[in-house]
Chain A
Amino acid sequence: MPQVEFSNIVKRFGRVTVLEDLSLTVQDGEFLVLLGPSGCGKTTLLNMLAGLQDVTEGTITIGGRDVTDLDPKDRGLAMVFQSYALYPTKTVRGNLKFGLSAQKLDRAEIERRVTWAAGLLQIDQLLDRKPAQLSGGQRQRVAIGRALVKNVDVFLFDEPLSNLDAKLRTEMRLEIKRLHQELEKTIVFVTHDQVEAMTMAHRIAVMNGGVIQQIDTPDEIYERPANLFVARFIGSPAMNTLAARIETSGQAIAAIHGPSGVRMDLSDYAFRTPPKHGDTVVVGLRPEHFIVGETAEPTGAVFTLPVRYTEKTGSDVTMFLDNGEKDLISVRFDHKHHHVPITGEAPPVWFPKDRFDVFDAASERRI
């Protein structure tokens, strides 16, 4: 029922246009993540849904009801903020109760909801404390609790995990996921952290420059990025992108990388629109898909380039190969199974035939 729909949203601050004709539908019960670098308009979009910022043009509906001009409190939403935004002078209980003040509820119902939310988030012990007496993780739980008690159908999260340390962040990630599975509410979650997006979302909307670049499941976004921006933004280390020229001969189609002369066999690549001989394209190669040493898999390319330097990160090694351009090619592999090359060595590195991503050089779109 509470499907959220943005139709043809335009947002301007003075003469600066932040969002241009944006449309987006969030399904009932869906966990949608808005992902993008800072300044991409994702928080503006969330704030407009919350009613904290005005919409310049377009409409927003929640469950078919036009909420574009409604007061924030009348939209049937709850929001969790980045800095938690707990009321410093109220106790945890007071914080939870104040969230119910817009709804005219009797005292027993308020008590019931507070107890329920506190139990769900394991903050029963903290109800009489002030926010200043809580740890970061506890404050986060209270902030979520304050949203939960309102018993609404749509929850908004504005980078709620970015102020937590790495360990707590993982813990809260699971917690939010668990709550979503239990309560089955619609969630719109804003973040710039791709790990959060990949692990939590049903669907991710990748935004840049006020435009939704791709909206799809995490797998699809990882496997088949719609354009170069998404390709480079998702994945760590970032995807290698090589400008190359297409060469066709009969059925065979390949891309040649100029500076290194490496030939990439694209015969198995599922083109939407096959390029012509001589076209320039950008070929994307994920660092983790490279194979170091001998392999039985059908390979699409072999790189024999000098190693500039290597970085060990626990189980993995990333080595950077000099391909004659400014950006080095990064290759990630498991160092337990392979000898780690030293600087200057040029070990052969293979790339599987079915793992390429190819983009048009001019439009930067996937082809």
Chain B
Amino acid sequence: MSTQATTAATAAAGVRSKARKKKRISGSSITIMVFLTMCAAFVSVPLYVVIVTSFKTMDQIALGDVFALPTTWTIEPWITAWSEVCAGMTCEGVSHGFWTSMKILFPSLILSIGVSSVTGYALALWKIRWAGTFLFVLFLCAFVPFQIIMIPLVVLNSSIGLFGSIWAVAIVHSILAMPLLTLIFRNFYKDVPEEIVNAAIMDCGSFWRIFIEIILPMSANIMIVVLILMITTVWNDYLIGLTFGGVGTQPMTVILANTVITSFGAVKYNVDMAAALLTAIPPLVVYFALGKFFVQGITAGAIKG
């Protein structure tokens, strides 16, 4: 009897939910889906155009019709872009810039994450009376436009002989990233239960051992977030690389801009687009591989305090 009633109820619920689902599809859902698809097209069309252009021959490009697929697929533009295209006077392709960017990236990551994580840890978990004030100052620094400290940093870098080297670029990146990363780390570490820190203080008491043995192993999530944030920031930067990098130590974005903007003679759009894609690929790979963390990363970068 009661089983029957339950079955009937379930069936009724099933019918009802089915009916509602149907209604939803026929109702506002279609409008929403159409709108979302249109926006999706707006967002994805540029990528599509760039990809197809980079595989076309210049002959086909000259015909117009940017949206057409390549009639004959060629990877020639990619090879040219990677190793032959001229940026200003030198003609070594964007590959040189790629390796420079890599050389800038690693010291930047180590320096900025090293300093910021320790600073965030000290501010969040150790009793320092001026921690609040310092955090507020960092909060202000995180928003300072780069241009206002750019010129003195150039003067400072020249005076210690670093100017024009990979290290100059990496150090400036680390300086600029320090306030924001510290705030991110501090906000993460302040949620570590106080009792765990107290237990560690009673057990061992050493600032560095507690950091390395207890706190760092708990930081995997935030490390990934910060890593992604830093990789995209450093890789996509143009101005710092342009200003602080010397000839031969300029990152990929600068080489790319020089290639495309200051090219002489006949413009090879397919090569330009291949070079642009080559520059965009590393952060895109990071993004599509770790998209979930990326969202976390940029939101953490945006909302803080």
Could you name 17 residue pairs across A and B whose Cβ atoms are closer than 8 Å?
A50-B198, A50-B202, A51-B201, A52-B198, A72-B201, A73-B203, A73-B204, A79-B199, A79-B202, A81-B195, A83-B195, A87-B196, A89-B214, A98-B213, A100-B203, A101-B203, A102-B206
* Bound CA span A52–B202, Å: 8
A73, B198: Cβ atoms closer than 8 Å:
no
Contacts of A298 in B (CB 8 A): none
Contact with A along B71-95 (1 / 0, CB 8 A): 0000000000000000000000000
* Bound CA span A146–B214, Å: 15
A277, chain B: closest CB distance, angstroms: 56
* Bound CA span A52–B209, Å: 18
* Contacting residue for B201 out of A73, A83, A86, A150, CB 8 A: A73
Contacts of A81 in B (CB 8 A): 195, 198-199
Looking across the interface, which residue of chain B has its beta carbon closest to that of A73? B205
Chain B: residues with CB nearer than 8 A to chain A? 193, 195-196, 198-206, 209, 213-214, 217-218
* Contacting residue for A99 out of B193, B196, B203, B206, CB 8 A: B203
Contact with B along A42-80 (1 / 0, CB 8 A): 000001001110000000000000000001111001110
Looking across the interface, which residue of chain B has its beta carbon closest to that of A52? B198
- By size class, the interface of chain A is 20 to 34
Is A134 an interface residue, CB under 8 A from the partner?
Answer: no
Residue of B193, B199, B205 with most partner-chain A CB within 10 A: B199
Number of A-B contacts (CB under 8 A): 68
Is A176 an interface residue, CB under 8 A from the partner?
Answer: no
Is A85 an interface residue, CB under 8 A from the partner?
Answer: yes
Contacts of A47 in B (CB 8 A): 198
Residue of B196, B201, B202, B209 with most partner-chain A CB within 10 A: B202
Given contacts A87-B214, A88-B218, A89-B218, contact A102 B205 (CB under 8 A): yes
B205, A85: Cβ atoms closer than 8 Å:
no
B196, A78: Cβ atoms closer than 8 Å:
no
B25, chain A: closest CB distance, angstroms: 42
Contacts of A87 in B (CB 8 A): 196, 199-200, 213-214
Given A73-B205, A102-B205, 5 other A-B residues pairs in contact with their CB atoms under 8 A = A51-B201, A79-B202, A84-B195, A87-B196, A146-B199
Looking across the interface, which residue of chain A has its beta carbon closest to that of B209? A101
Chain A: residues with CB nearer than 8 A to chain B? 47, 50-52, 71-74, 77-79, 81-90, 98-102, 146, 150
B196, A85: Cβ atoms closer than 8 Å:
yes
Contacts of A78 in B (CB 8 A): 202
Contacts of A100 in B (CB 8 A): 203
Residue of B195, B200, B206, B218 with most partner-chain A CB within 10 A: B195
* Bound CA span A162–B166, Å: 57
Contacts of B203 in A (CB 8 A): 73, 98-102, 146, 150
Looking across the interface, which residue of chain A has its beta carbon closest to that of B218? A89
B9, chain A: closest CB distance, angstroms: 35
B196, chain A: closest CB distance, angstroms: 5
Residue of A51, A90, A101, A146 with most partner-chain B CB within 10 A: A101
A72, B202: Cβ atoms closer than 8 Å:
yes
* Contacting residue for B205 out of A72, A79, A90, CB 8 A: A72
Contacts of B193 in A (CB 8 A): 83, 85
B204, A82: Cβ atoms closer than 8 Å:
no
A290, chain B: closest CB distance, angstroms: 43
* Bound CA span A50–B214, Å: 20
Contacts of A146 in B (CB 8 A): 199, 203
Contacts of A98 in B (CB 8 A): 200, 203-204, 213-214
Given contacts A98-B213, A101-B209, contact A85 B195 (CB under 8 A): yes
* Contacting residue for A73 out of B202, B214, B217, B218, CB 8 A: B202
Contacts of A84 in B (CB 8 A): 195
Looking across the interface, which residue of chain B has its beta carbon closest to that of A99? B203
A77, B202: Cβ atoms closer than 8 Å:
yes
Looking across the interface, which residue of chain B has its beta carbon closest to that of A54? B127
Looking across the interface, which residue of chain B has its beta carbon closest to that of A156? B202
A71, B205: Cβ atoms closer than 8 Å:
yes
A154, chain B: closest CB distance, angstroms: 12
A52, B218: Cβ atoms closer than 8 Å:
no
Given contacts A88-B218, A89-B214, contact A102 B198 (CB under 8 A): no
* Bound CA span A72–B200, Å: 10
A308, chain B: closest CB distance, angstroms: 42
* Bound CA span A87–B196, Å: 7
Contacts of A51 in B (CB 8 A): 201-202
Contacts of A86 in B (CB 8 A): 196, 199
* Bound CA span A242–B83, Å: 97
Contacts of B206 in A (CB 8 A): 101-102
Contacts of A77 in B (CB 8 A): 202
* Bound CA span A90–B214, Å: 8
* Bound CA span A74–B202, Å: 8
